[in-house]
């Protein structure tokens, strides 16, 4: 029976048993019986983590190689994703810190496209996030959200007549962005038996739709940049995620394009703390640069670290 080596990482933390767990299954170059997509899905279901990645290893690159591109497949327990935050940060950490690369630069090839990765001080991986951002015409109003999340009252939402924007970071990754008035209100969020079903614009009307709750803890101006500190939670039906890089990027881009752009601020740095209520505190870093005029995203950089927890062999 064919076997593959795997390890698990806790991502967006440097402390084991915090952050967001990730399964990393290594597929060696030239494996005689590489798994099919169907087999990968079964393995991801067996790991039963929010995401599992399958990393297609290359032959060792010569020292003078300009760039190494590593293909990864990202799976939840029931579907393949074009992009997700903590799997790509975890892959970057593994390749840079645990495996090491002799190439001058490193990139991940995902279904959403090529993602350059670089190593920063403190075992932090930073990724240039692929983006095709879109603010949907339809919003969700607080009454719709209260039907899904009855433990959060109308007064817990930020604003007098709160409407929740629906925002996609790429096609297939969409979030209802719900700003709450306080950290106490954030603590009252509980998973919902039903999924949010906002009306999505074509061709972004595909993939998952999560509910991303957040509180703006602080925002300060440093030079020509706004620096934000946020607390957040991401709920998808009955599931809550300890750290959601894709949602963090979506929210950061939305805030930069709305609140930042109308004041002429093009550079933004975000620190999002998520997973506190689950006992799995995670820290996600996002930097957003807008194009001149503030109507489009020039670049999105997501960063975080990870720590190895276990390793072993899986049969398939």
Instruction: Point out the residues that are catalytic.
Output: 51
142 by DSSP, 3-state: which? helix
142 — phi, psi (to 5°)? -60, -30
H helix count then E strand count, the chain: 5, 20
User: What CA–CA distance (Å, rounded) separates 195 from 235?
Assistant: 9
Q: Quickly tell me which residue has 């927890």 as its tokens.
A: 309
Among residues 268, 284, 300, 260, the alpha carbon closest in space to that of 131 is found at: 300
User: What CA–CA distance (Å, rounded) separates 218 from 179?
Assistant: 14
Q: Quickly tell me which residue has 């030079």 as its tokens.
A: 223
Within 13 Å, how many C-alpha atoms sit on residue 296's CB side? 5
145 by DSSP, 3-state: which? helix
H helices within the chain, ranges in order?
A: 37-47, 85-93, 142-148, 183-187, 245-255
């Amino acid at each position: 029976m064919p076997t593959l080596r795997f390890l698990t990482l806790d991502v967006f933390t440097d402390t084991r048993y915090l952050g967001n767990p990730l399964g990393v299954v290594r597929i060696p170059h030239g494996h005689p019986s590489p798994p099919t997509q169907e087999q990968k899905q079964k393995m991801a279901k067996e790991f039963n983590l929010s995401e599992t990645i399958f990393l297609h290893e290359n032959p060792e690159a010569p020292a003078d190689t300009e760039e190494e591109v590593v293909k990864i497949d990202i799976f939840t327990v029931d579907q393949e994703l074009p992009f997700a935050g903590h799997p790509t940060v975890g892959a970057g950490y593994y390749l840079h810190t645990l495996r090491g690369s002799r190439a001058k630069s490193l990139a991940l090839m995902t279904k959403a496209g090529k993602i350059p990765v670089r190593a920063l001080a403190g075992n932090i991986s930073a990724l240039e996030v692929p983006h095709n951002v879109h603010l949907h015409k339809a919003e969700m109003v607080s009454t719709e959200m209260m039907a899904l999340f009855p433990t959060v009252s109308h007064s817990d939402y930020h604003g007098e007549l709160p409407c929740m924007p629906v925002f996609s970071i790429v096609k297939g990754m969409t979030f209802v962005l719900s700003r709450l008035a306080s950290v106490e209100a954030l603590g009252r969020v509980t998973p919902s038996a039903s999924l949010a079903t906002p009306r999505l614009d074509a061709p972004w009307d595909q993939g998952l739709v999560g509910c991303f709750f957040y509180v703006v803890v602080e925002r300060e101006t440093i030079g020509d940049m706004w620096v934000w500190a946020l607390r957040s939670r991401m709920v998808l039906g009955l599931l809550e995620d300890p750290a959601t890089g894709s949602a963090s990027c979506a929210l950061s881009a939305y805030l930069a394009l709305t609140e930042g752009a109308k004041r002429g601020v093009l550079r933004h740095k975000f620190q999002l703390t998520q997973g506190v209520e689950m006992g799995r505190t995670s820290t996600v870093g996002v930097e957003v640069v807008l194009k001149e005029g503030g109507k489009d995203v020039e670049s999105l950089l997501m960063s975080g670290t990870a720590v190895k927890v276990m390793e072993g062999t899986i049969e398939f």
